[in-house]
Structure 1
Amino acid sequence: MKRLLFAALGLLAVGNAAAQLAKPRPSTLPQEPGTFSVEGLTPKPILVRIQAETPVYTTNKFERAIGSFAPGVPVTLVAMSDTAYRVRGRARHADVAGWVKQADVLSRDPMLADKLKKLFERTQQVAELIKNNQVALGMTSEEVQASLGRPTRTSAKINAAGKQERLEYAMFEKVPQVTTTRDAFGQLVQTVIYVKVEVGTLALSFKDGVVDEIEETKGNPLGAGGVKMVPVPIVF
């Protein structure tokens, strides 16, 4: 039987999600093979500048130019591949969205491409955990609550090292029970109902805003999979 974990007070949509949770609407354009969208991965659009006169292409393979950007023009990153950025901005002839070579883009962060790749991978991992109502080391408090809902208990302490938060969850699973009742004709019939039964208690401690310790204080709410881990949030 597949275990369904529920927080004691039920799942709750978290209003004040972290920047990497509450994202603007991503581009609806289909992604080319080997590329991924960066829109919505960061709290604000990523702005960069064009270094020199740069052609803009329809694909990330640089197959057909549709215009060119003048030196110094600001553009917004939309997507990326290993060698190219899809950008949106004002070309010499009109507003366009297309692909330029990464080498033709100037960013204040020389590690921008690597950071975006890591951020995309982390976002995918966290989304899968939230989808399955699971938690992992490295998640933020907002991500944990998006996955498990409102905690049963919360506590915090402040010391010289800073503020340390702790969330506790009473975990439940639905257990089938067979009951015997009479139908409208007086016949005995058996029906299956599902009753929520507490199977364990999970406590998560946070350091520097992310989970650094997961404790099963009762039962085995993590299941056979044990403790998972994701990279800490990428800061831009």
Structure 2
Amino acid sequence: MWRFLILFLGLCTLNATAEIQRDERRSLLDSDPDVVYLDQTVKNPIMLEVIKEAPIYSTKEGTRQIGTLQINQTLKLEAMTEKAYRVRGKGVGKAVVGWVGPWAFKSKDPDFVENLKKLYQRQIEVVALIDANDVAIGMTLEEVTSSLGKPVKTASRKTANGETGKWEYIEYEDVKHYVTRIDPYSGAVYRQFSHITREEKSKTAVEFENNVVTAIERMEDEKGANVRIIVPPVIFRW
């Protein structure tokens, strides 16, 4: 009985370790700052048809070929850079997953290569903005929430043309206050901590139309001059 229990626990430990290692490998794979991962970016999968046999590489730079991608199959685009697409599908004699040049594919959208470049460039900018807790005209409300969190105040208006509205964010800072005291014995003057107040540091108002930011207003002058504009969400003609 004890031998069986020890063996069972050992197998559980091995399975847990293997699962952690798989998660770590996936985490490392999904952390390349030069790669846009489509499952984190678009709601609907982007499907591409292979029209030419093409070498498939293990790296986005195309440094090591691991097989040849077969034609006449439709694949889901998993990730991309400006110059390569990551897919998984049928290779010559085996299943393959790796990086392939855009020239091997076609899509229902005749401008898919150019649109995917726009999507890539936009997403790189969005990630940088979110990392900096900043916003820009052209971002979606979901992206604004990822960057700044929940607004403290919201207002919306629905019309025949869609929905418009405004989100407001306020940043606070804790300010320490001191009072001046005089020592009754020595006459020395010193500062003594009194209390802390939470004061408004800055205010950001984000105006939107149909889920896309159209204007940004900041209370701080030095930031108001640096409002950025990015490409709105890319629309594909699938």
Please report the TM-score for the alignment, with normalisation by the length of structure 2. 0.66
Deviation per residue, 1:18-72 (Å, 9 max, x gap): xxxxxxx977449999x63444332244321211444434456766654333321
**What is the CA distance between 1:159 and its match in structure 2?**
2.6
Indicate how the Cα distance of structure 1 residues 54 and 42 shifts in structure 2: closer, same or farther if over 3 A, else same.
same
Q: Aligned equivalents of 1:31 and 1:200: distance in 2?
A: 32
Question: What does 1:148-227 correspond to in 2, within 5 Å?
Answer: 148-178=148-178, 195-216=197-218, 219-220=219-220, 223=223, 225-227=225-227
**What is the CA distance between 1:206 and its match in structure 2?**
0.9
Q: Aligned equivalents of 2:61 and 2:169: distance in 1?
A: 49
Q: Aligned equivalents of 1:45 and 1:28: distance in 2?
A: 22
1:113 partner amino acid? V
1:211 partner amino acid? V
Q: Aligned equivalents of 1:176 and 1:26: distance in 2?
A: 45
**Residue 80 of structure 2 contacts residue 120 of structure 2 at CA under 8 Å; is this kept in 1?**
no
Alignment match, 1:184: none
Check if 1:77 corresponds to 2:77.
yes
Deviation per residue, 1:106-152 (Å, 9 max, x gap): 22222222222222222222222222322221122222222222222
**Residue 31 of structure 1 contacts residue 37 of structure 1 at CA under 8 Å; is this kept in 2?**
no
Alignment match, 1:48: 48
How many residues align? The count is 203
**Residue 38 of structure 1 contacts residue 116 of structure 1 at CA under 8 Å; is this kept in 2?**
no
Question: What does 1:47-66 correspond to in 2, within 5 Å?
Answer: 47-58=47-58, 65-66=65-66
Indicate how the Cα distance of structure 1 residues 229 and 54 shifts in structure 2: closer, same or farther if over 3 A, else same.
closer
Alignment match, 1:133: 133
**Residue 200 of structure 1 contacts residue 221 of structure 1 at CA under 8 Å; is this kept in 2?**
no
Indicate how the Cα distance of structure 1 residues 46 and 26 shifts in structure 2: closer, same or farther if over 3 A, else same.
farther
Rg larger in 1 or in 2? 2
2:215 partner amino acid? E
1:36 partner amino acid? V
**What is the CA distance between 1:91 and its match in structure 2?**
1.6
Structure 1: gaps of 5 or more residues? 1-24, 181-187
Q: Aligned equivalents of 2:64 and 2:78: distance in 1?
A: 19
**What is the CA distance between 1:82 and its match in structure 2?**
5.1
**Residue 36 of structure 2 contacts residue 124 of structure 2 at CA under 8 Å; is this kept in 1?**
no
| Percent identical residues | 34
Structure number having the greater helix percentage: 2
Q: CA RMSD in A?
A: 3.6
Instruction: Specify the SS of the correspondent of 1:223.
Output: helix
Instruction: Specify the SS of the correspondent of 2:77.
Output: strand
Q: Aligned equivalents of 1:201 and 1:64: distance in 2?
A: 51
Indicate how the Cα distance of structure 1 residues 194 and 76 shifts in structure 2: closer, same or farther if over 3 A, else same.
farther
Q: Aligned equivalents of 1:108 and 1:26: distance in 2?
A: 30
Indicate how the Cα distance of structure 1 residues 174 and 103 shifts in structure 2: closer, same or farther if over 3 A, else same.
same
